[in-house]
Structure 1
């Protein structure tokens, strides 16, 4: 399969081994995913800076190392400076996104992570080569003009698309293609959020709604994420995405409040998912060309932004302000709820972008508001109300994505703060369990058992442990034909014989060949005197046999692979001595019997 890659035997052996092949190719996938993340980062920033900041005069607070609590102004109202035509920009982005997506790659619609999940489960890991390019351009148009969407969906689809493309070009199996697809997701997410471990875990966890992992892809995902993160960090810097104060967790009694926050995150997450997909159904039902629907969503988003301009863009600056304690309680509540509506207008209408970033913002502001209220009600219990911003951010997304492990690690990495792991673990698990099957990723399946990608992995081998000797009583005695027996005598001997295959033996009774009824018919069609044709002239000398100690699975495989109806069974120490003939019908009858037995066992259990 890989001979066209290299003529050196060492590399051929290396590529022939699945684990080595995955490791080598995941490095390449990580390089491309990291490069795509860098290009996407600078392109979206350039469009955002030119249109939102430069043209429309919209300047949300910044995030990361360039900010500090001392210089961050207090956000006590929704008022912001901007030019009057700000509300038109999301519609402009919607027009560009709609034309790109619906004219060239309709599967690039919406949030790219869901499309990658669908490709894994239902398409054998196949993603069309043009999809990552269209997704990237459409997402730049959506995000750069203020759409309420994140970068992780497009980057996930870019990385996944390259992994799928690479596996297809190398003519790898569907299993290999799926693994490289996940490696691409891991690389894109790990780089974009500067979270290499979280990105790798997200890729293998996001496929399922139950707590399951695609464990076969974990190592390739780790390798790809490390490479992509290192490349992205070398170009853009190594600082965390968000800066946090020095949080500590030293009061176990506070876990009660975190438990309530987890329930609240799960409840609001259910509202978020319902709103998101209700508006998706609304836009799909509109009697207008799909190309213009993202523009309509953009217009409605622009109208909302006239009242709550904080809903535009990624919103990370407001998370940073909340982490510094620089947002009023009521502002956090209003922006969190408005962000749900803004995201549900941007992506379900056909806009292109991810749901991770908006979900983090919604959860962070919800957590900040909860922390501020908890401080007023339980001043002796709350150690730092700002810590609820970080925990809420993780809990909300874990609840709507069913990825508690990946989310708590990713939030810790993107903030550089690991001191709140215990509250993070509690809130993420509670939020996920509070409203099960409430996922923003509708292409997730419940478990590996429900994935078409693993359709054959869980079939019970009902013939396991059984040998050919166990079915000897269902075989039939062979009709042995001497080598020198002529055709007329052969016809007399087999007229009343059982079966359709006849072993040919020499004077010592050792099998030297075998023929079937069909072989007899072919001879009869030829103009040869029957008295001149003997058994050894008809028989095939290459005989496929099985021994009494062979497994029934091996016998079934031999019958199926050659299209035989019967096989001669020989003794292990005497390969020329035929003990009995084993038919396909006998094997299938035993298979059905064992299957019924196992069904009864499982039902009784």
Structure 2
């Protein structure tokens, strides 16, 4: 028995060493390219702030993006969904051009004011480089799946400074209702190395502050760890977060399908999308819903950071950001969905906190992670993200918000390639009303 135990431990050590050796250079490469991307994104944002007339060139920028993907994109146009498909069933491969193409086009989108995020770019950088290294290392099909998953973890963990979230996200996003832990160790190594690499390049991540509030309650002389009233408010808000995340996913698909149906000349689709963004900005008289939504363009601007403060958001800021982003991504501009989801969730949380007389900073944080959880169907990863970004004081409320939003967000999401391993609601005989009636009759209840 001792020899068997020793043999198992040696096999585990070999497994760890092998993947550490394989994944480390991949994660360093991904982290370095993500660091370059974040630097370019910050430059593009600040340059646009100083040259506001660039917004009027957004339609032209959309045509450039369209032509780049038409001439050089090929299958890279599928973006994150291509990577998820390859993890499910390797076949077509992830093209080498995906990483530079998505990096360039995302920077173009932000430089001219499109409302998009950065997670999609980081994930595609991770998938593209992981696929490249899988070929160099001559990995078999099973190891290639693991490598691609680790690439997603490295890209996501590096772009947000959340290595553990990146690890769980890469495992959880593949299929709804199922997590395959086969790639857990390589993903954890990749997420950590990717995040460390970004920090080593001197790139700083946005810091968020949530005021500490007492969430407990004294009931009949006994102290409860969570106030029942606050818990009820969190559940109600989380249900709304889930519905809004579903609305976001459907809005992006709706804009895309509408554009393809009614605009027959493909390069005119981004022209129309960019023109609508310009018109909305002129109508509102505020540029707050352009770009990433993290840094303020002017004093008093609504941003993700400002949403954590009293009066840091307008009542319908979340709806405007949802509209801007759906138009931007639905008409062919490039970037991710997650940072806009953070913006939508934080500003909606600010509004609901005001309406429910609840802690503003806490509800902004809950919206930040819960809308993301509902849209991507990754409640566990988003719970961990809440802990990594905001601290562990509210871990229980983070979990309640994320899982509630997950159930209320419907069966779909922002990634069509995401498969359904297990439905969110019970199906089959046990879910039918007749079954319940028979059980009640059997036990005479």
Please give the range of the TM-score, normalised by the shorter of the 2 chains: 0.7 to 0.9
- Cα distance change on mapping 1:285 and 1:88 into 2, 3 Å: same
Instruction: Choose from 387, 396, 404 the match for 1:412.
Output: 387
Q: How does 1:69-468 map to 2 (within 5 A)?
A: 85=53, 87-109=55-77, 112-124=79-91, 126-210=93-177, 212-236=178-202, 240-251=206-217, 252-253=227-228, 254-308=230-284, 309-317=287-295, 318-328=303-313, 331=314, 333-375=315-357, 382=358, 384-413=359-388, 415-447=389-421
SS in 2 for 1:310: coil
In structure 2, relative to structure 1, the CA distance for the partners of 1:294 and 1:108 (3 Å cut) is farther
The CA deviation string for residues 369-423 of structure 1, in whole angstroms up to 9 with x for no partner, is: 0000011xxxxxx3x232100011111111111100111212332x342221111
User: Scaled by the length of structure 1, what TM-score is found?
Assistant: 0.62
Equivalent-residue separation in structure 2 for 1:108 and 1:278 (angstroms): 22
CA contact (8 A) 1:164 1:178 kept: no
Going from structure 1 to structure 2, the CA distance change for 1:441 and 1:297 (only over 3 Å counts) comes to: same
Higher Cα Rg, which structure? 1
Q: Partner residue of 1:43?
A: 40
CA gap of 1:127–1:237, structure 2 versus 1, over 3 A, is closer
Contact 1:92 1:145 in 2 (8 A): no
Query: 1: CA distance between counterparts of 2:121 and 2:205?
Result: 22
Q: Would you say the 8 A contact 1:26–1:224 is kept in 2?
A: yes
Q: CA deviation at 1:90?
A: 2.7
DSSP-derived class of the 1:36 partner: helix
CA distance in 1, matches of 2:15, 2:135: 16
Distance 1:323 1:176, change over 3 A: same
Determine which structure has greater relative contact order: mean sequence separation of CA pairs < 8 Å that are 6+ residues apart, divided by chain length. 2
Unaligned runs of 5+ in 1: 1-12, 57-84, 376-381, 450-605
1:154/1:354 contact within 8 Å kept = yes
- Cα pair 1:148 1:313 within 8 Å, conserved: yes
- CA-CA distance at 1:178 after TM superposition: 1.4
For residues 22 and 295 of structure 1, what CA distance do their matches in structure 2 show?
46
Q: What's the offset of the Cα at 1:239?
A: 5.7
TM-score with structure 2 setting the length: 0.83
Q: Which residue of 2 aligns with 1:492?
A: none
Distance 2:213 2:398 in 1: 12
Whether the 8 Å CA contact 2:345–2:371 is kept in 1: the answer is yes
Aligned to 1:25: 22
C-alpha distance in 2, partners of 1:148/1:107? Answer: 24
Q: Per-residue displacement from partner, 1:183-216 (whole Å, max 9, x unpaired)?
A: 1111111111010101111111111122x21311
Q: Is this contact kept in 2: 1:298–1:346, CA < 8 A?
A: yes
- Residue 386 to residue 394, structure 1, CA distance change in 2 (3 Å): same
Query: Counterparts of 1:286 and 1:18 in 2: how far apart (Å)?
Result: 54
User: How far off its partner does 1:240 sit?
Assistant: 4.8
Are residues 242 and 108 of structure 1, via their aligned partners in 2, closer, same or farther at CA, if it must alter by over 3 Å? Answer: farther
Secondary structure at the aligned position of 1:430 is classed as helix
Q: Which has the higher helix share?
A: 2
- Alpha-carbon RMSD across the aligned residues, in angstroms, is 2.3
Measured in 1, the distance between the counterparts of 2:292 and 2:325 equals: 10
Give CA deviations for 1:73-101 in whole Å, capped at 9, x if unaligned: xxxxxxxxxxxx45414324322321222
CA displacement at 1:144 relative to structure 2: 2.5
State the distance in 2 between where 1:353 and 1:407 align: 20
1:327 positional shift: 2.1
CA shift for structure 1 position 148: 1.2
Change (3 A) 1:430 1:25: same
Once the two structures are TM-superposed, the CA of residue 355 in structure 1 deviates from its matched residue by 0.6
- Separation in structure 2 between the aligned mates of residue 400 and residue 304 of structure 1, nearest angstrom: 25
Q: Partner of 1:68 in structure 2?
A: none
CA distance in 2, matches of 1:239, 1:140: 18
Shift in CA distance, 93/249, structure 1 to aligned 2, threshold 3 Å: farther
Give 1:435 deviation, angstroms: 3.5
Aligned to 1:466: none
More displaced, 258-267 or 139-148? 139-148
Distance 1:299 1:421 in 2: 43
Question: Who is 1:491 aligned against?
Answer: none
| Matches of 1:240 and 1:412, distance apart in 2 | 15
Q: Distance in 1 between matches of 2:198 and 2:143?
A: 26
